[in-house]
Chain A
Amino acid sequence: MQWNGASLLIELLKRQGIRIVSGIPGGANLPLYDALGQSDLRHILVRHEQAGGFLAQGMARSTGAAAACFATSGPGAVNLMTAIADAKLDSVPIVAVTGQVSSALIGTDAFQEVDTYGMSIPITKHNFLVRTVAELLDVVPEAFRIALSGRQGPVLVDMPKDVQQGRIDLDAFPDPGVADPVAEADGAVLASMARMIAAAERPLLYVGGGVVASGAEEEVRALSALCGIPVVSTLMGLGIMAMEDPLNLGMIGMHGSRATNLAVDRADLLIALGVRFDDRATGSIAGFAPRARVIHLDIDEAEIGKIRRPDISTGCDVKRALRRLNKLVARAPREAWKAEIATLRREHPFETPEDESHPANLVKRIASLAPKECIVTVDVGQHQMWAAQWWPVRRTRSFLTSGGLGTMGFSVPAAMGAALANPGTPVVVLTGDGSLLINIQELATIAENQLDIKICVFNNGSLGLVRQQQELFYGGRYVASRFVARPDYAAIARGFGIPGCTIRIPHDETALARAFAIKGPALIDIELSESENVYPMVPPGKSNVEAIVAGKGKS
């Protein structure tokens, strides 16, 4: 049977299990779109390529399966880069296919030509420039294998127009690319770890996105329960532990609770699982868990010793390692350590402020109105940290956030991907008025596809986290962090064909409930005080125990 490069690419994507592709057509990927139009792949036309990348991320982050997106050459590809870089830092498996000018024109500064391959090297796990139609038979399965294997991540396939149009005769297809078998932990190392855990008086589990990627939530909970080990989580690890579990100490780091960061400070053994000792989690690394020996399990060998040299480590799949480790460890109640933690939590209570209109209380109120099975996507800034502190994350892959790159504009398009990949599951967006504007054009995509997404805008008329840092660390000199123009977001939503409402009193529960009762998409613009800060806050570069707490200064 004869194929052209474009129809072959579509067929290979389908063989990878891809059912939905996001993107925008343009000159250099028109053959791809022509083939797409003749297939049963569903295409979601976004209004900015960055949103196409985040849509794919929303699908991948919420399901664990790889997702794909398209962009044309030049500006299309450049627009996509932010979402790809974001996927790299949070290890999200997406495959981006970009159109490129014809091979003969490459290097001539042709119309809409940019060195997509060169630009994407530092922000992809790997990238390909396809030179012949036949190469697609290797490149596409390889792209998916790479995206899904080991530490997952984005792969870019740049496809010149003549390759899309080139012809090939084919009788058989290659097998779809799948994840490589995972690395097993060294048995002797696991036995040593079990002995270290048995000997520890104040062990602490420190869990992150790698546990989610590995699907090791049950194993972490089992280890914690069996050995009486409290668990601290990174932003990417929220949901690994059950909310109500008394051993769940929540998020550590810059905006973690005092008790949680102090527990890390006191620990004599840190069991780091699927984490990379990110600076937002550890604070000044010299002051992080200074009394602790460190066990580090991560699938990416290069993360081991990159920031903190562990006492014992193995590069392996966390789930499989824990299954074996959990058989080697002995039950231990650790009552003294639990009591010490309980005291810490009593001395440093972490509760939402009494002020009902405080954004933290708004997070809780939205959570109480949102369906329990919903997926929430959050943007970047103050609301993100209030959400991380107060949103009841009931399961992993239900709280999607841009952790590593911290990309404002993430939440709305990621929510679209989550809604598309999880039909029937309601999606809630928590965003700020700063973040919303960055991908607000996607309201058109939401309206067009009638996606069940409730967008809650934490509107404080400023770039809140920037304003907060200027208040705390730059002498209250507010430069470029406050918005003079205050758009009417409800009216804007209505302009896009989405119901919109404005809530002027943040604790007006009736108004909020009325908005949540709307069927289908809706935008809820909630006016908040401009001066609230997220606390606690560890000043950048300081140790986690040097946090500033509300109204008290450093403690």
Chain B
Amino acid sequence: MNGLPNTIVKLMVRNHSGAMSHITGLFSRRGFNLEGILCAPVEGGADSVMYLLVRNDERLEQIVKQVQKLYDVKSVSVQDDLDHTVFNRIEQLLNEP
């Protein structure tokens, strides 16, 4: 871990209408913090890549383990080295009048 307050968890997810509910539902039900989500279809729409901005604390390991158990999640990785600015740029976009 790099000591930053937030880190990014990257998921490869089966792309169907219920997948997002499964993931966001897991975060709310287990009381995990979720600061931001970026999601886009890949593989011709069969899968989605999801970037989750989460707090980099002692619960991160548990988040990864629980997300891994979801049927629609094909892979999980913590992207310590990933630039958070992608989320910052979205924030800017959202704050534009």
Contact = CB atoms under 8 A, between A and B. Distances in A.
Interface of A: 117-118, 121-122, 125-127, 129, 146, 300-302, 305-306
A126 B65 contact: no
Main SS of the interface on chain B? helix
B69 A302 contact: yes
Nearest to A315: B65
Contact of B22 (A121, A300, A302, A306): A121
Contacts of A127: 18
Nearest to A305: B61
B26 to A, nearest CB: 8
Contacts of A301: 65, 68
A129 B53 CA distance: 29
A302 B66 CA distance: 6
10 closest A-B pairs by beta carbon, nearest first, are: A302-B65, A126-B71, A122-B29, A121-B25, A302-B66, A122-B25, A301-B65, A121-B21, A121-B22, A306-B62
Nearest to A118: B21
Contacts of A117: 18
Contacts of A118: 21
A344 B29 CA distance: 41
A300 B71 CA distance: 14
A180 to B, nearest CB: 12
Contacts of A126: 70-71
Contacts of A121: 18, 21-22, 25
18 contacts: A117-B18, A118-B21, A121-B18, A121-B22, A122-B26, A125-B71, A126-B70, A127-B18, A129-B18, A146-B71, A300-B69, A301-B65, A302-B62, A302-B66, A302-B68, A302-B69, A305-B61, A305-B62
A14 B52 CA distance: 42
Nearest to B61: A305
Interface in B48-70: 61-62, 65-66, 68-70
Contacts of B62: 302, 305-306
A117 B62 CA distance: 25
Interface in B27-84: 29, 61-62, 65-66, 68-71
Most B C-beta atoms less than 10 A away, residue of A125, A126, A129, A146: A126
Contacts of A302: 62, 65-66, 68-69
A247 to B, nearest CB: 33
B56 to A, nearest CB: 17
B70 to A, nearest CB: 8
Contacts of B61: 305
Nearest to A300: B69
A498 to B, nearest CB: 41
Given A117-B18, A121-B18, A301-B65, 5 more contacts: A121-B25, A122-B26, A300-B69, A302-B66, A302-B68
A121 B26 CA distance: 9
A301 B70 CA distance: 13
Contacts of A146: 71
Nearest to B29: A122
A305 B62 CA distance: 8
Contacts of B66: 302
Interface string B9-27: 0000000001001100110
A300 B68 CA distance: 11
